């Protein structure tokens, strides 16, 4: 696979009942940088 994609994924939504808990889970599992605010 080439090093850079022609159309990389830049956004998707994961709906959760407890957004803070879901964000903490994804930060720990995937080492994602997730912002703060109503739209994380």
At residue 1, the pLDDT reads 53
pLDDT, tens digit (0-9, with 9 covering 90-100), for 13-40: 888 899 889 889 989 998 888 877 766 6
Q: Say which residues have a Cβ less than 8 Å from residue 34's Cβ, sequence separation at least 6.
A: 23, 26, 27, 40
DSSP letter string over 5-19?
Answer: -SS---------SSH
**pTM of the full predicted structure?**
0.54
Report DSSP state, residue 35.
Answer: -
Coil, helix or strand at residue 9? coil
Separation CA 2–CA 15 (nearest Å): 31
> Which sequence spans correspond to the domains of the chain?
10-34
């Amino acid at each position: 696979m080439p090093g850079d994609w022609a159309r990389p994924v830049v956004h998707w939504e994961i709906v959760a009942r407890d957004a803070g808990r879901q964000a903490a889970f994804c930060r720990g599992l995937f080492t994602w940088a997730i912002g703060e605010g109503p739209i994380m």
